[in-house]
C-alpha cells in the first residue's frame, strides 16, 4: 500500500496539475523513512517535476527498447518491441523507432495510440509521456502540417500548466519545428536554455538549433553550436549524438566552402532544371553547369539527388 | 454586472482582461492560456470574480479544460464576496462547469448543471439558457431546446442588440437547424457574426459562427456559399490554432467540399480526439465512415464506425449511437476466421515492420511460405495489404 501522500503526488503528476504540491508531498514522504515502493514513486514524481535527473530504468521492455533506440541500435530495439503489449510506453517506444527509421505515418499512428492508452489510465501530463509533441513531429514529417502545429501548441499549453522546465523545453522544441520557421531560432534557443540542466535531453534541441541557424544563413553560429553540442555528446558518452553532430559539423564545414554564386545555383537546382536556374540568375546555362560541378566536388555528392538530400532534407541551406 | 463581452474600463490592463483580449483577437492560443494562468495567480486578479471568470473564458477557449475545472470552484469560495453576490457567482460557476462538461462530451452533466441553477440577473439567465439550448440540441432533445427558447422569451430578447445577443442567436439557430430550417439558421448565424464583428471579436474561439453558417448554407443547398464560409472558418481557426477549433473547422470544410474530403476529415478526427471533443468526434467519424465506404475502403470504414460508436457511448447521444450501430451492421461483417499460430506470428511480425525476408529468416521459413501465410492472413482478416494489417488485427 502506498503512503497517502505518495498516491496524491502521483495523481497530481499524472494529471499534470499543481506541481508545487506534488513536489512538496514527495519530498515529505522521502524525508519520513519511506518504503521501497514509496521511494520509487516519489523519485519519479520529482523526476517528472524536473527536480532531479530522470532515473534510468530498464525494468520494462519499453524502457529497454527506448534505451536501445537512444544508442542507435534499431534492430535490437525492434526485437524487444516484438512482444505484444498494449501499454502507452510500448506504443511510444515503437513510435520512436518508426520515426527514427523514417516511417512517419506509422510513427504517428503509434504515438496517437500511446496517447489513447495514456488518457485511459489518467495520464495527461506531457512530462510523464510527451506523446503529443512526438505525434506532432511525425505528423509534420508525414506532410500534415495543420495537425502538427495544433498538436505541438496544445502540448506546450499542457507542459506550461505543469511547469517543469524540461517538459516545457521539449514541447517548445516541437513547436519550433512545426511552426513559423522565422521564429524557430528564438524558440529553440529558449528550449535549449530550459533543457540545459537535463543531461542528454538537451542534445536534440541543440542539434535542431544548429540546423535552424544554418537555414537562416547564420553559419558561423551554426558551426559553433554544432561544435559545442558535439563536445557535450562526447562528455555524456552518447554514441548516437556524437555521430550525428559529427556529420552535421562536416556538412556545415563543406557548405561554407561554397561561393555565394555556387550556393545560389545549388539551392535553386534542388527545384529547377539548369536552364531554369540560368534564367532565374540571369546567367548562361554553361555557367550554371560549371557552378554545379564545383558544388558536387566540394560537397562530395555525385548528382542532383544527393544534393537535394544534403540541402533540403537536413534543413541546411548554404550561405 | 459587466459581462465578459464588455471590457471593464476600471480593470483594463490586468492579466485577466489581457487574457480575454487575446482570446477575442483570435490569434495564438498558447499566449491566451499563459495569460489566463498568470491571472489566476496574480494578486490583482485572483480574488476578483470577474477576473476569475475572464480567466476561465481564456482557459476554456484555449482548450485547457483541466485547469479551468481545477479552479472553477474559486468562483464560489476563494474570491472576495463583496465584488459579486452569491447567486451571481453560483450562476457563473454553473456556466463554467456546464461548458467544461459540454466540451468534454459529458452532455448529461452539462444539461443538469445548466438547468439547475436559478440565475440572478437577466443577462446571466439568458446566457445560461443559451448554453443549455445548445447542449439540448447536441443531446438530441430538440423539443426541450425549443421549450427553453420560449420559456426565456428569446424571440423578444433578440430584437435588440446586446452583449449577449450573438450567443442567443447561435442557440436559436441551432434549434432552427435541428428542426430542418437551415435558411433561418443561416440568417441567425450571419447576424451573430455581424454582432461579434461590431464588438471587435474577430476570433472563432468563442463561437465558430462562420463554420456553423457554412453547414446551414450547405443544408440549404447553397454549396458555393457554404464552401466560402467554411474556408474562411478554417483560416480563422488556424490563426487561433487550438485543436478543437481547428478540428471543427476541418470537419466543416470536409463536409461541404465537393471531393471526398477524406484527408480533411481524418485530420479533423485526430485533432478532435486530441482535444477530447467526443461529441464532434463521433459526428466526424460517422461522416468519415460514410466517405470511406463510398470509396470502397471497408476495413478503414469499419474502424471509423467502431470508434464513432465508442465516442457515442461516452456522450450517450442516441442518434450517433444508432447511426454507428446501423452502419456497422450494414457493412459486410469482418471475417472472423481464426488464424493459425504460424499465420498469427507472421501477421504480428509483418505489422511490426519486418520485411518478408526478415520474417522468413526469423522463423526459419522460405520467403515463399511467408508470402503464402500473409496472403491467408489478408484473406481471413479482410485486409487488402500490409497497410490494412494494423487496423484489421486490432479489430479482432
Beta carbons of B243 and A151 less than 8 Å apart: yes
Tens digits of residue pLDDT in B85-137: 788 888 889 999 999 999 988 999 999 999 986 665 678 888 999 999 999 99
pLDDT at A15 over 70: yes
**Per-residue pLDDT at B3:** 47
Taking CA atoms, what residue in A is nearest to B345? A82
- Per-residue pLDDT, averaged over B73-89, amounts to 79
Q: Which of B75, B94, B120 is the C-terminal boundary of a domain? A: B120
Give me chain A's average pLDDT, please.
Answer: 90
Tens digits of residue pLDDT in A77-94: 998 998 878 899 999 999
Q: Which residue has the higher pLDDT, A229 or B258?
A: A229
Confidence of residue B353 (pLDDT cuts 50, 70, 90): confident
pLDDT at A313 over 60: no
Residue window 43-72, chain B: list those with CB within 8 Å of chain A.
62-64, 66-67, 70
pLDDT at B8 over 70: no
Beta carbons of A161 and B66 less than 8 Å apart: yes
Q: Is residue A275 part of a domain?
A: yes
> Taking Cα atoms as reference points, which of B244, B269, B261, B293 lies closest to residue B103?
B244
B279 and B138 Cβ atoms separated by less than 8 Å? yes
Dihedrals phi, psi of A116, to nearest 5 degrees: -60, -45
Quick count: other Cβ atoms within 10 Å of Cβ B232? Answer: 18
Residue window 270-309, chain B: list those with CB within 8 Å of chain A.
270-271, 273-276
Q: Which of B120, B141, B163 is the C-terminal boundary of a domain? A: B120
Tens digits of residue pLDDT in B148-197: 999 988 998 888 888 889 999 999 999 999 999 999 999 999 999 999 99
Quick count: other Cβ atoms within 10 Å of Cβ B358? Answer: 17
For residue A18, the chain B residues in CB contact (below 8 A) are: 70
How many angstroms separate the CA atoms of B287 and B302, rounded? Answer: 12
pLDDT at A307 over 70: yes
Beta carbons of A78 and B30 less than 8 Å apart: no
Beta carbons of B241 and A149 less than 8 Å apart: yes
Q: Is residue A286 part of a domain?
A: yes
Closest-CA distance, B231 to chain A, in angstroms, reads: 14
pLDDT at B72 over 60: yes
How many angstroms separate the CA atoms of B94 and B114, rounded? Answer: 6
- Per-residue pLDDT, averaged over B293-302, amounts to 88
**Per-residue pLDDT at B395:** 61
**Per-residue pLDDT at B12:** 63
How many angstroms separate the CA atoms of B27 and B376, rounded? Answer: 52
Q: Is residue B256 part of a domain?
A: no
pLDDT at A315 over 70: no
- Per-residue pLDDT, averaged over A228-245, amounts to 92
> Which of A17, A144, A150 is nearest residue B242 as measured by Cβ atoms?
A150
Q: What is the secondary structure of B220-249 as a DSSP string?
A: TT-HHHHHHHHHHHHHHHHHH--HHHHHHH
Confidence of residue A41 (pLDDT cuts 50, 70, 90): very high
Query: For the ranges A174-183, A214-223, A285-294, B128-137, which has the lowest average pLDDT?
Result: A214-223
Q: Is residue A201 part of a domain?
A: no
- Per-residue pLDDT, averaged over A12-30, amounts to 95
Interface residue of A154, A160, A176 to substitute, partner B, most B CBs within 10 Å = A154
A82 CB near a chain B CB, below 8 Å? yes
User: What proportion of chain B, given as a percentage, has pLDDT over 90?
Assistant: 59
How many angstroms separate the CA atoms of A288 and A264, rounded? Answer: 10
**Per-residue pLDDT at B65:** 95
Confidence of residue A56 (pLDDT cuts 50, 70, 90): low
Tens digits of residue pLDDT in A93-141: 999 999 999 999 999 999 999 999 999 899 999 999 999 999 999 999 9
Q: Look at chain B and report how many structural domains it folds into.
A: 2
How many angstroms separate the CA atoms of B114 and B152, rounded? Answer: 14
For residue B354, the chain A residues in CB contact (below 8 A) are: 78
Residue window 137-176, chain B: list those with CB within 8 Å of chain A.
none
Q: Is residue A216 part of a domain?
A: no
Confidence of residue A314 (pLDDT cuts 50, 70, 90): low
Q: Is residue A65 part of a domain?
A: no
Confidence of residue B336 (pLDDT cuts 50, 70, 90): low
- Per-residue pLDDT, averaged over B27-39, amounts to 95
Cell digits of residue A251 = 556538412
C-alpha separations of A299 from A271, A303, B247 in Å:
18, 10, 43
**Per-residue pLDDT at A319:** 45
> Taking Cα atoms as reference points, which of B302, B296, B307, B299 lies closest to residue B379?
B299
Chain-centre distance for alpha carbon A319: 25
Interface residue of B27, B30, B355 to substitute, partner A, most A CBs within 10 Å = B30
> Which of A109, A115, A157 is nearest residue B64 as measured by Cβ atoms?
A157
- Per-residue pLDDT, averaged over B337-359, amounts to 86
Q: Is residue A242 part of a domain?
A: no
Return the top range by mean pLDDT from A165-179, A254-268, A271-285.
A165-179
Beta carbons of A161 and B34 less than 8 Å apart: no
Confidence of residue B13 (pLDDT cuts 50, 70, 90): confident
Confidence of residue B315 (pLDDT cuts 50, 70, 90): confident
- Domain with B351 in it: what CATH number? 1.10.10.10
Quick count: other Cβ atoms within 10 Å of Cβ A34? Answer: 20
Q: Where are the beta strands (DSSP E) in B200-254?
A: none
**Per-residue pLDDT at A135:** 97
- Per-residue pLDDT, averaged over A268-281, amounts to 88
Interface residue of B274, B300, B344 to substitute, partner A, most A CBs within 10 Å = B274
Q: Which residue has the higher pLDDT, A278 or A58?
A: A278
Cell digits of residue A161 = 500548466
Give me chain B's average pLDDT, please.
Answer: 89
For residue B276, the chain A residues in CB contact (below 8 A) are: 119
Q: Which of B70, B97, B120 is the C-terminal boundary of a domain? A: B120
**Per-residue pLDDT at B120:** 58
Confidence of residue B9 (pLDDT cuts 50, 70, 90): very low
Closest-CA distance, A282 to chain B, in angstroms, reads: 38
Beta carbons of A157 and B33 less than 8 Å apart: yes
Q: Look at chain A and report how many structural domains it folds into.
A: 2
Confidence of residue A241 (pLDDT cuts 50, 70, 90): very high
Beta carbons of B30 and A160 less than 8 Å apart: yes
Q: Which residue has the higher pLDDT, A307 or A29?
A: A29
SS3 at position A55? coil
Alpha-carbon torsion angle A249, A252, A253, A258, nearest 10? 170
pLDDT at B396 over 60: no
Beta carbons of A154 and B274 less than 8 Å apart: yes
**Per-residue pLDDT at B11:** 52
How many angstroms separate the CA atoms of B81 and B91, rounded? Answer: 14
- Domain with A300 in it: what CATH number? 1.10.10.10
Beta carbons of B274 and A151 less than 8 Å apart: yes
> Given CA atoms B380, B386, B388, B390 in this order, what sign does their dihedral have?
positive
Longest dimension (CA), chain A: 80
How many angstroms separate the CA atoms of B270 and A298, rounded? Answer: 45
- Per-residue pLDDT, averaged over B230-242, amounts to 96
C-alpha separations of B394 from A78, A106, B27, B49, B337 in Å:
19, 14, 39, 49, 14
pLDDT at A42 over 80: yes
SS3 at position B395? coil
Beta carbons of B241 and A153 less than 8 Å apart: yes
**Per-residue pLDDT at B237:** 97
How many angstroms separate the CA atoms of A108 and B176, rounded? Answer: 40
Supply the pTM of this predicted model. 0.88
Q: Is residue A187 part of a domain?
A: no
**Per-residue pLDDT at B378:** 86
What is the span of the domain harbouring residue B97?
A: 1-120
Tens digits of residue pLDDT in A166-211: 999 999 999 999 999 889 999 999 999 999 998 889 999 999 999 9
**Per-residue pLDDT at B394:** 66
* Cβ–Cβ pairs < 8 A, chains A and B: 80
What is the span of the domain harbouring residue A295?
A: 260-313
Amino acid at each position: 500500500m502506498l503512503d497517502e501522500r505518495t498516491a496524491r503526488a502521483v495523481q497530481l503528476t499524472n494529471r499534470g496539475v499543481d506541481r508545487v504540491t506534488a513536489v512538496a508531498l514527495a519530498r515529505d514522504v522521502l524525508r519520513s523513512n519511506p518504503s521501497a515502493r514509496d521511494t520509487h514513486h516519489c523519485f519519479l514524481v520529482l523526476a517528472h517535476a524536473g527536480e532531479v535527473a530522470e532515473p534510468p530504468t530498464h525494468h520494462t521492455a519499453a524502457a529497454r527498447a527506448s534505451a536501445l533506440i537512444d544508442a542507435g541500435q534499431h534492430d535490437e530495439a525492434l526485437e524487444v518491441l516484438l512482444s505484444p503489449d498494449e501499454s502507452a510506453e510500448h506504443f511510444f517506444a515503437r513510435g520512436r523507432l518508426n520515426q527514427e527509421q523514417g516511417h512517419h505515418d506509422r510513427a504517428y499512428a503509434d504515438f496517437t495510440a500511446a496517447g489513447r492508452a495514456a488518457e485511459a489510465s489518467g495520464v495527461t501530463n506531457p512530462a510523464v509521456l510527451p506523446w503529443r509533441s512526438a505525434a506532432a513531429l511525425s505528423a509534420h514529417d508525414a506532410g500534415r502540417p495543420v495537425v502538427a502545429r495544433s498538436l505541438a501548441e496544445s502540448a506546450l499549453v499542457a507542459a506550461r500548466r505543469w511547469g517543469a522546465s524540461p517538459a516545457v523545453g521539449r514541447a517548445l522544441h516541437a513547436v519550433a519545428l512545426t511552426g513559423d520557421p522565422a521564429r524557430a531560432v528564438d524558440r529553440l534557443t529558449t528550449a535549449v536554455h530550459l533543457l540545459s540542466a537535463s543531461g542528454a535531453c538537451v542534445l536534440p534541441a541543440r542539434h535542431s538549433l544548429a540546423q535552424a541557424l544554418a537555414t537562416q544563413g547564420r553559419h558561423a553560429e551554426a558551426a559553433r553550436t554544432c561544435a559545442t553540442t558535439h563536445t557535450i555528446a562526447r562528455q555524456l558518452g552518447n554514441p548516437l549524438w556524437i555521430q550525428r553532430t559529427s556529420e552535421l559539423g562536416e556538412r556545415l564545414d563543406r557548405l561554407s566552402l561554397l561561393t555565394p554564386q555556387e550556393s545560389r545555383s545549388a539551392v535553386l537546382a534542388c527545384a529547377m532544371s539548369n536552364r531554369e536556374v540560368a534564367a532565374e540568375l540571369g546567367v548562361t546555362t554553361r555557367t550554371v553547369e560549371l557552378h554545379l560541378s564545383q558544388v558536387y566536388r566540394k560537397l562530395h555528392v555525385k548528382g542532383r539527388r544527393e544534393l537535394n538530400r544534403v540541402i533540403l532534407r537536413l534543413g541546411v541551406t548554404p550561405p | 454586472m459587466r459581462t465578459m463581452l464588455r471590457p471593464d474600463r476600471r480593470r483594463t490592463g490586468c492579466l485577466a482582461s489581457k487574457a480575454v483580449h487575446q482570446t477575442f483577437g483570435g490569434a495564438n492560443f498558447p499566449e491566451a492560456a499563459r495569460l489566463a494562468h498568470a491571472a489566476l495567480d496574480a494578486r490583482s486578479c485572483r480574488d476578483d470574480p470577474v477576473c476569475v471568470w475572464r480567466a476561465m473564458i481564456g482557459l476554456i477557449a484555449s482548450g485547457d479544460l483541466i485547469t479551468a475545472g481545477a479552479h472553477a470552484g474559486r468562483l464560489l469560495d476563494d474570491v472576495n464576496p463583496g465584488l459579486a453576490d452569491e447567486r451571481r457567482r453560483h450562476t457563473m460557476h454553473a456556466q463554467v462547469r456546464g461548458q467544461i462538461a459540454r466540451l468534454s462530451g459529458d452532455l448529461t452533466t452539462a444539461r443538469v448543471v445548466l438547468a439547475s441553477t436559478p440565475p440572478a440577473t437577466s443577462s446571466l439567465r439568458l446566457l445560461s439558457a443559451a448554453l443549455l439550448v445548445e447542449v439540448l440540441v447536441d443531446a438530441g432533445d430538440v423539443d426541450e431546446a425549443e421549450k427553453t427558447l420560449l420559456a426565456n422569451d428569446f424571440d423578444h430578447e433578440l430584437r435588440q442588440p446586446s452583449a449577449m445577443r450573438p450567443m442567443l442567436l447561435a442557440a436559436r439557430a441551432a434549434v432552427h437547424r435541428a428542426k430542418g430550417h437551415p435558411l433561418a439558421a443561416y440568417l441567425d448565424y450571419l447576424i451573430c457574426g455581424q454582432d461579434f464583428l461590431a464588438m471587435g471579436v474577430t476570433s472563432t474561439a468563442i463561437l465558430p459562427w462562420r463554420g456553423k453558417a457554412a453547414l446551414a448554407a450547405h443544408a440549404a443547398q447553397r454549396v458555393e456559399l457554404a464552401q466560402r464560409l467554411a474556408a474562411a472558418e478554417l483560416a480563422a481557426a488556424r490563426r487561433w490554432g487550438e485543436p478543437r477549433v481547428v478540428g471543427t473547422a476541418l470537419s466543416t470544410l470536409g463536409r461541404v467540399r465537393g471531393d471526398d474530403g477524406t484527408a480533411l476529415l481524418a485530420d479533423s478526427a485526430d485533432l478532435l480526439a486530441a482535444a477530447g471533443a467526443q461529441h464532434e468526434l463521433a459526428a466526424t467519424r460517422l461522416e468519415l465512415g460514410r466517405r470511406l465506404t463510398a470509396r470502397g475502403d471497408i476495413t478503414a470504414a469499419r474502424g471509423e464506425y467502431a470508434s464513432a460508436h465508442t465516442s457515442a457511448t461516452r456522450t450517450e447521444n442516441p442518434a450517433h449511437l444508432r447511426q454507428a450501430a446501423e452502419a456497422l451492421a450494414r457493412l459486410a461483417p469482418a471475417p472472423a476466421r481464426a488464424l493459425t499460430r504460424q499465420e498469427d506470428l507472421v501477421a504480428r511480425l509483418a505489422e511490426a515492420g519486418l520485411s518478408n525476408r526478415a520474417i522468413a529468416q526469423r522463423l526459419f521459413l522460405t520467403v515463399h511460405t511467408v508470402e503464402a501465410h500473409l496472403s491467408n492472413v489478408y484473406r481471413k482478416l479482410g485486409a487488402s495489404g500490409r497497410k490494412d494489417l494494423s487496423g484489421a488485427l486490432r479489430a479482432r
